[in-house]
Amino acid sequence: MVSAAAETTYYLWLAAGVFALLGGGYLVLLVQRWRALQAALAGLQASEEQQTPGQAGT
């Protein structure tokens, strides 16, 4: 038999887990997106630099 105090503590930790999951999950998504955009930006800047000398020669 689970005591009332243990049961209420269980729900408190469950709520703490939900806060951590939602907050942490959102932060991870933001960081992943930031990194993906930084990589895309670096790639595009490299492409642009490669295109520029070719255009200057034509």
Q: Which two tokens stand for residue 56?
A: 């200057």
Site string for other proteins, 1-30 (x = CB under 8 A): ---xx-xxx-xx-xx--xx--xx--x---x
Amino acid identity for residue 34 in this structure: W
Place of tokens 């049961």: 7
Query: Closer to other proteins at the Cβ: 1 or 11?
Result: 11
Place of tokens 């951590």: 20
Place of tokens 């942490």: 24
- Binding region for other proteins (CB under 8 A): 4-5, 7-9, 11-12, 14-15, 18-19, 22-23, 26, 30, 33-34, 37-38, 40-41, 44-45, 47-48, 51, 55
